[in-house]
Chain A
Amino acid sequence: MILTRNRLGLFRFVLYGHAVLVMAFLLLPIIFIALLSFGSSRWMMFPPPEWTLRWYEELATDPRWAEAMWLSLRLALIVTVLSVLLGGAAAFALVRGRFAGRRVLKAFFVAPMIVPVVIVAIALYAFSLKVGLNGTFAGFVAGHLIIAVPFSVICISNSLRGFDPALEQAAAICGAGRLETLRRVTIPSIAPGLLAAAVFSFLASWDEVVVSIFMASPQLQTLPVRMWTSLRSDLTPVIAAASTLLVLASLILMALLGLSATRAGRSKMQ
């Protein structure tokens, strides 16, 4: 009865109203920032007196912002590739291997997700100071990779678990070598998992703040670090423009993921 919507009587409207409010709570701040990024008021008046692209122009032309964006993009792409490679191999070992301590290894791979990121950040900061990684591109890659690899391991493990290894044996019987089997049978079968791993790795790097703050130097700053430092001085609408870009990237990637999930779901049904 109370798990059946139309038997709840008037109370269901209370639940509907609550859901609408929560959805508004979740969506409105994002929409609000996107709107403000097009407003002309430097003091973020709402509703804006006029509409303008000024802040986006500043974002693209001010070298400090433009370089930060460029660094973030390069970083996210490299981290994505490395994360899928490392995480994919690790997931393969976790799912296919039958060795003692597999549970411990799995816990080790997801540990960076559980350990508070501020601890990861200052630990890596101390380490980087010793080996001279601080303020270098390689240091950023290492830091973001720590955050991204657990997502890859989880996504690809889930996908591999749903893939029958007998298909690989079948390919081998058909005469395919190990590499060819991997390329033509295994990888296409776990493509949705690989895509998810790539998307989450990209977003993990693209959005990363805490590790980056400690890794950054005045010369080398990612977009979130740049936002963070200017946030501490003032609330300039350029930050709203940068935020909108970050949100847009997440939206596009999540939509891509959703699309591939529905396509996979549909082909499974057929």
Chain B
Amino acid sequence: MKMDTPLPAVRLMDLHKRYGDFAAVDGVSLDVRKGEFLTFLGSSGSGKTTTLNMIAGFDDPTSGQILLNGGAVTGLPPQKRNIGMVFQRYTLFPHMTVAENVGFPLSVRRLSKDEVNSRVLDALRLVQLDRFAGRRPSQLSGGQQQRVALARALVYEPQLLLMDEPLGALDKKLREEIQIEIRKLHHRLGVTILYVTHDQEEALRMSDRIAVFEHGRIVQVGSGEDLYHCPATAFVAGFIGNSNFLRGSVAERRSDAAIVKLGENSAVCVPVDAVGGVGSEVRIMIRPEEIKLSHALSDAAGAVIPVTVRERIFLGDTISYEVATRDGQSVLVREDRARNQGRCVGPGTDAYMHIAINQNRVYKKY
């Protein structure tokens, strides 16, 4: 480690959490940089929330270490970790007003009344709810309640803010509005944020980096673009963005490349170290927008596979096709309307599918 590397805000070292025989978290290691917006992305039961709960101190790891700003916090109760947290359900104290809710962490810290009042007002202004200071949580809408929860989590300027699917209970439009608001707050305050979601779009929209969880492990960490273009496993490829997986088998291995047969009469060239022996199965991932359909063979680089168009759906800015290869694999294609103009590939017609094989998207197994 270089001398000038700052301490990570959070460092997870080989974290395990077992419930009986079940490993909820199975060896998670991760550094979260100061000021970073990092998202834990995964389906339910993938271990992302358990990991977050261990960072918050609601759960003790079975083994492994958690460092906050370089200090071990194992065994430290949540109230001594100086962390902010926003929960999925709003978890505002129903017997307190909005101002009392936001002031609670400050009064716990024994700040003077004036100090509490002025900081509560500041925090409420930050989320544009200063007019509602005297109301009860039950008199606010879901979105407003969640913004109060955000103010409560930020008012004591914690080093780290944890957010556990904070927008899960809100409808789509409101969710997008608050996503932008949180993003702006992050830029303004520079606080480190650990965000948990199962919504890949939300993860892409908000995060500096995303850690994808599967079966209690992190399978890949990277920026949204990294994950989209170079998914480390077929699971990541399938989880982020739309994707097609073409089935094929290895026909030939040369020193520089391998030939993979897709169906009866088409074949593509792939890097040899991405595949197994001759005859073994291979999955090739192709994004729908990276496929071009045409009636004529073109001489563009990449592979050409003959298909039959099954369905054409007009979606406004894009047109989506469902096509089938000769051996019956269904493939989703999306074309820009602008690019598509003039050509009309109707349902039932035969066409050619032009694909560029990205060497990073060839998988031995799904």
Contact = CB atoms under 8 A, between A and B. Distances in A.
Interface string A1-18: 100100100000000000
A4 B58 CA distance: 10
Contacts of A1: 58, 77-78
A7 B78 CA distance: 11
Interface in B73-117: 77-78
A54 B58 CA distance: 61
A7 B58 CA distance: 8
Contacts of A7: 58
5 contacts: A1-B58, A1-B77, A1-B78, A4-B58, A7-B58
B241 to A, nearest CB: 38
Interface residues of A, number: 3
Contacts of A4: 58
Interface string B50-86: 0000000010000000000000000001100000000
Contacts of B77: 1
Contacts of B78: 1
B50 to A, nearest CB: 14
A1 B58 CA distance: 7
Interface string A123-137: 000000000000000
Interface in B38-59: 58
Nearest to A4: B58
Interface of B: 58, 77-78
Query: Which 5 interchain pairs have the tightest Cβ spacing?
Result: A1-B78, A7-B58, A1-B58, A1-B77, A4-B58
Nearest to B59: A7
A4 B77 CA distance: 13
Contacts of B58: 1, 4, 7
A4 B57 CA distance: 13
Interface in A1-52: 1, 4, 7
A32 B58 CA distance: 44
A5 to B, nearest CB: 13
Nearest to B77: A1
B105 to A, nearest CB: 15
A240 B311 CA distance: 85
A6 to B, nearest CB: 9
Nearest to B79: A1
A12 to B, nearest CB: 15
A209 B200 CA distance: 68
B28 to A, nearest CB: 22
A230 B247 CA distance: 91
A3 B239 CA distance: 36
A61 B186 CA distance: 87
A1 to B, nearest CB: 7
B104 to A, nearest CB: 15
B78 to A, nearest CB: 7
A1 B57 CA distance: 10
A82 B77 CA distance: 60
Interface string A91-117: 000000000000000000000000000
B131 to A, nearest CB: 32
A178 B30 CA distance: 70
A119 B78 CA distance: 56
A4 B78 CA distance: 14
A1 B77 CA distance: 10
A4 B53 CA distance: 13
A7 B54 CA distance: 13
B55 to A, nearest CB: 15
A140 B321 CA distance: 83
Interface in A112-169: none
B348 to A, nearest CB: 47
B49 to A, nearest CB: 15
B133 to A, nearest CB: 27
Nearest to A7: B58
A1 B53 CA distance: 12
B192 to A, nearest CB: 23
B162 to A, nearest CB: 15
B73 to A, nearest CB: 15
A234 B78 CA distance: 62
A7 B75 CA distance: 11
A7 B77 CA distance: 9
A76 to B, nearest CB: 46
Interface string A211-248: 00000000000000000000000000000000000000
A1 B78 CA distance: 9
B287 to A, nearest CB: 44
B91 to A, nearest CB: 12
A11 to B, nearest CB: 13
A93 to B, nearest CB: 36
Nearest to B78: A1
B17 to A, nearest CB: 13
B203 to A, nearest CB: 29
A1 B81 CA distance: 14
B164 to A, nearest CB: 15
A153 B78 CA distance: 50
A192 to B, nearest CB: 33
A230 to B, nearest CB: 53
A255 B248 CA distance: 64
A210 B310 CA distance: 83
A263 to B, nearest CB: 30
